[in-house]
Amino acid sequence: MSKKPTAKEATSPAANDHAQAPVNARLTPEERIELFRKMMRIRRFEERSLRAYQAKKIGGFLHLYIGQEAVAVGCCSLMGPNDHVITAYRDHGHAIAVGMDTKALMAELYGKATGCSKGKGGSMHYFDPSRNYWGGHGIVGGQIPLGAGLAYALKYKGLKGAAMAFMGDGAVNQGAVHEAYNLASLWNLPVVFVIENNGYSMGTSQARSSAGELAQRAAGYDMQWGQCSGHDVYEVRAMMDKFLTLARETGKPSTVEIDTYRYRGHSVADPDNTYRSKQEIEEYRRTRDPIQLFQDKLLAEGVLTAATAEQIDTEARAEADVAADFSEASPFPTPADIQTDVYWEADNPSERRSQGRLFFT
Amino acid sequence: MPVITYREAVRHALAEELERDPNVVVMGEEVAQFNGAYKVTEGLLARFGPQRIVDTPISEAGFIGVGIGASMLGIRPVMELMFWSFYSVAFDQILNNAANVRYMSGGQIHCPIVIRGPANGGTNVGATHSHTPENVLANHPGVKVVVPSTPADAKGLLKSAIRDNDPVFFLENTMLYGEKGEVPAGEHVVPLGLADVKRPGTDLTIVTYGRSVLHSLAAAEVLEREHKVSAEVLDLRTIRPLDIDSVLRSVAKTHRVLIVEEQKPFASVGSQLAYMIQREAFDELDGPVHRLATVDAPAIYSPPVEVEQLPNPRRVLQAALETLA
């Protein structure tokens, strides 16, 4: 069964309208180029990590963000100092979007001590609290209550900010997501639940896994909701600006479903030949690639030249290669590192107050 | 020294820590308006207001997850589970998220959350409400597990738990809430990971914790009176970190060990203790390590029979005599 188009996708207005949204109209040329650059950097990072995986430099799973770049970049480009992000295991795009160093991200995939989680988390578990990025979580939907908790803390501290809690379309069927929806709405927590709907929860299409419209479920919890295309970074920004502003100004939560598409399988372990057609993937690549579409827009706006676009691409490829070289040259953690970063107290022995044995053999 | 109940001791710890640290929040089902399902939080709403004492819907995965997320940003939530038995519906939040987030982030995050509530059998509520998951919890590196037996320990350990920067799971006991004991007023802090000799002895070490401490003390009385046996009752108080040194010291004195626990026997806290004792004090033992656990079946409802499924003074006495035989 092929990907089910959302109602929004079917009736999408002229793409240029979203460029006129105030949040986009006020972007400087440099800021527009930066959005383009971030998407390109994500794409090239992901392609490079796939090659490293194929060369057996990377263990475990690898869930690539290729095709979905406009979602993370659009959303995270709106973050202020008190806005926070949490997501699931397809987490590389958000990490680059919030500004994490691709060397540390690639090194994490290589399982190196220089990785963003010291080689202890892997692909699914990127974190950088200094950039308000709280993971990187492996269990479908399990991060969503935590996202509501980040919003709870903002509210408790009286800070004007919002949490964005990202999930895939498969997560909407998990109980923890619904519990978080209810609590967020009941308590007016400033959180935007973002459903990145790429049409497939692993190999099961939306039509085969979810009854009804996904975002609309928010209405059952008395939350506002919206749908938009994730192929147009301007549209993502316009939609998210509305709901982030709602959260920051009124404390009200919302749910936004962003229609997107992944070109690669669920993970690299997915042969990707059982549940969708090659033609479908090619059609998306040809007509709705978020980077190509945005490049065309910026060329039309006169913000970008073909030469600059080419240069940004070249730089993004070079950056990914540098990240891979850095990872290659970095040391692995040692067996002695296995038992650090388990307990705060064990890592801060001078401040330890408890006694007794923390670890066992 | 004031004599108060275990319930009041927990409440005093909560109130004092709420007073001390504005980031402490008490959250759970019925903790505020209802004054607590077991009245532990009685009066806290009136004193601290709805910002600090927060009623939740019956939604353990949701509200425990919210607490964990909030703790990552510096709030110090003290979450009440009406029964620890309900941890199963929040298992992913408690043991995937709270236990692992520090590790998976390479030490960038810590999670100063306390989850507390009763975990015990003996109240004729059947298998779903009678779980004692301290072994399951303690199986997860990154968490701390506390099971206080007396009012003084309940207060002192809970204050330590709330100040701790790691996730602490605090297992109380509905059968102990009404028990009275001397508890210091004001600042009284018992460090986690420190066992306590509740009764000194020379012939037998009974290693135990939680309500089984009371049963063991009762049995020790009979052992002394009727069998001329001097039993030492060592209360672990904390399961992880574990004060194994105090256990080994006692074993070196008595050379005989009985472990008493309100646990299903398979892979229990006692299993771990028995392994460690034989490994680290083999030459001190005059006989095999014995254990008295819950009779291995789901918790039976039938009230008089449930008493016989759990550790009780008669069963402890019998097990002690077998250990000495």
Domains and CATH numbers, chain B: 3-182 (3.40.50.970), 196-324 (3.40.50.920)
The answer to whether B129 is a known catalytic residue is yes
Give CA separation, B188 vs B9, B172, B179, in Å.
11, 18, 19
Residue-level pLDDT at A117: 98
C-alpha distance from B141 to closest chain A C-alpha (Å): 7
Q: What would the pLDDT profile of B162-177 be if each residue is shown by its tens digit?
A: 999 999 999 999 999 9
Collapsing DSSP to helix, strand or coil, B237 comes out as coil
If we measure between CA atoms, which residue out of A10, A6, A16, A34 comes closest to residue A235?
A16
Q: What is the mean pLDDT of residues A263-288?
A: 93
Q: What is the mean pLDDT of residues B51-64?
A: 98
Give the DSSP letter string of A181-203: HHHHHHTT--EEEEEEE-SEETT
Could you tell me which residue, A273 or A303, shows the higher pLDDT? A303
Q: Residue A67 is encoded by which pair of tokens?
A: 């095709």
Residue type, position A347, single letter:
D
| Phi, then psi, of B195 in degrees rounded to 5 | -80, 170
**Touching check for B25 and chain A: CB below 8 Å?**
yes
Task: Give chain A's mean pLDDT.
Answer: 95
Residue-level pLDDT at A5: 57
Q: What would the pLDDT profile of B68-103 be if each residue is shown by its tens digit?
A: 999 999 999 999 999 999 999 999 999 999 999 999
Q: What is the mean pLDDT of residues B23-27?
A: 98
Q: Which of residues 118-147 of A touch B (CB under 8 A)?
A: 118-121, 125, 127-130, 134-139, 142-147
Task: Give chain B's mean pLDDT.
Answer: 98
**Residue in chain A nearest B92 by alpha carbon:** A142
Q: What would the pLDDT profile of B101-159 be if each residue is shown by its tens digit?
A: 999 999 999 999 999 999 999 999 999 999 999 999 999 999 999 999 999 999 999 99
* Kind and range of the H or E run holding A87: strand A84-87
**Touching check for A17 and chain B: CB below 8 Å?**
no
Separation between Cα atoms, residue A143 and residue A344, nearest integer Å: 21
Is the pLDDT at A14 greater than 70? The verdict is no
Query: In the 8-state DSSP scheme, what is residue A267?
Result: S
Contacts of A176 in chain B (CB under 8 A): 61-62, 65, 92-93
Q: What would the pLDDT profile of A208-251 be if each residue is shown by its tens digit?
A: 999 999 999 999 999 999 999 999 999 999 999 999 999 999 99
Contacts of B195 in chain A (CB under 8 A): 356
If we measure between CA atoms, which residue out of B215, B68, B242 comes closest to residue B147?
B242
Q: What would the pLDDT profile of A66-92 be if each residue is shown by its tens digit?
A: 999 999 999 999 999 999 999 999 999
A137 close to A146: Cβ distance less than 8 angstroms? yes
Is the pLDDT at A10 greater than 80? The verdict is no
**How many other C-beta atoms are found inside a 10 Å radius of the C-beta of residue B87?**
23
A91 close to A135: Cβ distance less than 8 angstroms? yes
Q: What would the pLDDT profile of A283-332 be if each residue is shown by its tens digit?
A: 999 999 999 999 999 999 999 999 999 999 999 999 999 999 999 999 99
Q: What would the pLDDT profile of A92-104 be if each residue is shown by its tens digit?
A: 999 999 999 999 9
As a residue count, chain A comes to: 361
**Touching check for B108 and chain A: CB below 8 Å?**
yes
Per-residue b/e over B52-62, b at no fewer than 16 CB within 10 Å?
bbbebeebbbb
**Touching check for A182 and chain B: CB below 8 Å?**
yes
Q: What would the pLDDT profile of B220-250 be if each residue is shown by its tens digit?
A: 999 999 999 999 999 999 999 999 999 999 9
Contacts of B269 in chain A (CB under 8 A): none
**Touching check for B141 and chain A: CB below 8 Å?**
yes
Q: What would the pLDDT profile of B300-309 be if each residue is shown by its tens digit?
A: 999 999 999 9
Contacts of B72 in chain A (CB under 8 A): 129, 134, 146, 149-150, 153
**Touching check for A101 and chain B: CB below 8 Å?**
no
Q: Residue A37 is encoded by which pair of tokens?
A: 């650059």
Which residue of B51, B55, B66 is the best one to mutate when testing the A interface, meaning the one whose CB has the most A CBs within 10 A? B66
Q: Where are the beta strands (DSSP E) in chain B?
A: 3-5, 24-28, 53-55, 76-80, 114-118, 144-146, 168-172, 180-182, 196-199, 204-208, 231-235, 238-240, 257-260, 290-292
Q: Which CATH superfamily is domain A27-351 in?
A: Thiamin diphosphate (ThDP)-binding fold, Pyr/PP domains (3.40.50.970)
**Touching check for A186 and chain B: CB below 8 Å?**
yes
Q: What is the mean pLDDT of residues A23-28?
A: 98
Contact call for B93 and A127, based on CB within 8 A:
no
Q: What would the pLDDT profile of B255-264 be if each residue is shown by its tens digit?
A: 999 999 999 9
Is the pLDDT at A13 greater than 80? The verdict is no
Contacts of B105 in chain A (CB under 8 A): 117, 121, 125, 127, 129, 135-136, 341
Which residue of B91, B96, B108 is the best one to mutate when testing the A interface, meaning the one whose CB has the most A CBs within 10 A? B108
Separation between Cα atoms, residue B302 and residue B111, nearest integer Å: 40
Residue-level pLDDT at A273: 87
Give CA separation, B150 vs B179, B231, B234, in Å.
8, 19, 13
Contacts of B71 in chain A (CB under 8 A): 149
Contact call for A121 and B166, based on CB within 8 A:
no
Q: Residue B254 is encoded by which pair of tokens?
A: 């008595």
Residue-level pLDDT at A16: 55
B12, B110, B129, B188: the catalytic one is B129
As a 3-state breakdown, chain A gives helix, strand, coil percent values, each rounded to 5, of 50, 10, 40
Residue-level pLDDT at A271: 86
A260 close to A69: Cβ distance less than 8 angstroms? no
Is the pLDDT at A156 greater than 90? The verdict is yes
Separation between Cα atoms, residue B44 and residue B36, nearest integer Å: 9
Is the pLDDT at A120 greater than 80? The verdict is yes
Which residue of B56, B75, B97 is the best one to mutate when testing the A interface, meaning the one whose CB has the most A CBs within 10 A? B97
Residue-level pLDDT at A9: 47
Contacts of A157 in chain B (CB under 8 A): 73-75
Q: Which of residues 78-97 of A touch B (CB under 8 A)?
A: 84, 86
Residue-level pLDDT at A269: 86
Q: Residue B269 is encoded by which pair of tokens?
A: 């806290």
Separation between Cα atoms, residue A94 and residue A147, nearest integer Å: 14
Q: What would the pLDDT profile of A159-168 be if each residue is shown by its tens digit?
A: 999 999 999 9
CA A99 to mean position of chain CA atoms:
12
| Phi, then psi, of B26 in degrees rounded to 5 | -100, 130
CA B42 to mean position of chain CA atoms:
21
Residue B258's contacts (CB-CB under 8 Å, 6 or more residues apart) are B204, B205, B206, B207, B289, B290, B291, B292, B316, B319, B320, B323
Query: Dmax of chain B from CA atoms?
Result: 58
Residue-level pLDDT at A2: 63
Separation between Cα atoms, residue B92 and residue A141, nearest integer Å: 10
Residue A7's pLDDT band, with cuts at 50, 70 and 90, is: very low
Contact call for A357 and B160, based on CB within 8 A:
no
- Tell me the percentage of chain A whose pLDDT exceeds 90: 94
Separation between Cα atoms, residue B228 and residue B310, nearest integer Å: 26
Q: What is the mean pLDDT of residues B48-53?
A: 98
